[in-house]
Homo-oligomer: A and B are copies of this chain.
Amino acid sequence: MQGIETDAVADAELSDPVLVEGLPGVGQVGKLAAEHLLEEHADATLVRRVHAEHFPPQVLVDEDGTTRLAAATVHAVETDGRDLLVLTGDHQAGDGPGHYRLAGTFLDIAAEFGVTDVYALGGVPTGELVEEYAVLGAVSAPELRDPLEAADVEFRSEEPAGGIVGTSGLLLGLGGRRGFDCRCLMGETSGYLVDPRSARAVLETLEDLLEFELGYDSLDDRAEEMEEVMEKLHEMEGGAGVQPDDDLRYIG
C-alpha cells in the first residue's frame, strides 16, 4: 500500500452534518470524547475507514485474536440535535507531511458529506491537577468566536502558547483555508493521565453548541476507575492507612 487509501464502507444521508474530530493526543481527551459520542449512539454507522502509510506499520490484536490495521474511522451519527460525522482513530500520523496529507483527506471526506462546520476536540495540558475543567477555544475565523464564548468556552490571548499540534491544528489551519468554519475545543487536563472528566467537559460544551443531549454514565465509570487506580498508586507510595488527599480525587 502506498499513500493514503479511503475505504467507502457505507453511505449515509445526513442533513448539514458537523465534523467532530477526536484523535489520540494530550490526556486522550479528544479520542475519549469521540469514542463516547459513538458509544452513546448505538446506530452510528461506520462510513469511511482511512488507512495510510503515515500510520505506524503495525496491526492491533483484538480480544478474539483478530488483527486490525491502524486506521482512522469516520462514523455518521444522527443526534437529537445536528447530525455528526465523527472522526477518530488509533494514531496520529507518524511524520510531518503525513499529518498534512491526512488532514487533507479528512477534509475531503467532510466535504463529500456536505460538512461546512468542523469541531476539533482535544486536551490542553496544565501541568497540574485540574479541579475545574475549563474548556479553551480557538477558531479559524474571528466571527466564530462569539457563539463559543456564549457557551462558556474561554479564549486566552495566544494560548495554547505552543500552538495546536497535529490533526486538530491542521483541520483548523487547512480547513479555514478551504472555507470550512472550524473550532477547536480543548479541555484542560493535567497532561499526565488519560482524562475522562476533561472529555466530559468538552462534550458538554459540544452538546450546548450543537443542541443534542448525551448520557455520561460510561464516561463517569471510566473516570472513577482512573481515580481508583490513582488512589491505589497513592496508597502504595504514601504508606498504608493514608487517605488520598483532595488534590488527587479529580485526577481522572
Q: Which residues of A contact B (CB under 8 A)?
A: 1-2, 7, 51, 53-70, 93-97, 99-101, 103-104, 137-142, 145, 155-160, 162-166, 169-170, 172-174, 176-177, 182, 184
Contact = CB atoms under 8 A, between A and B. Distances in A.
Given A61-B159, A67-B176, A94-B96, 16 more contacts: A2-B97, A2-B101, A2-B104, A53-B99, A58-B162, A58-B165, A60-B163, A61-B138, A61-B160, A65-B138, A66-B138, A66-B145, A67-B140, A67-B182, A69-B173, A70-B173
A61 B158 contact: yes
Nearest to A141: B66
Copies of this protein in the assembly total: 4
Question: SS class of chain A's interface: helix, strand, loop or mixed?
Answer: mixed
A145 B64 CA distance: 9
A140 B66 contact: yes
Contacts of A99: 53, 57
A174 B65 contact: no
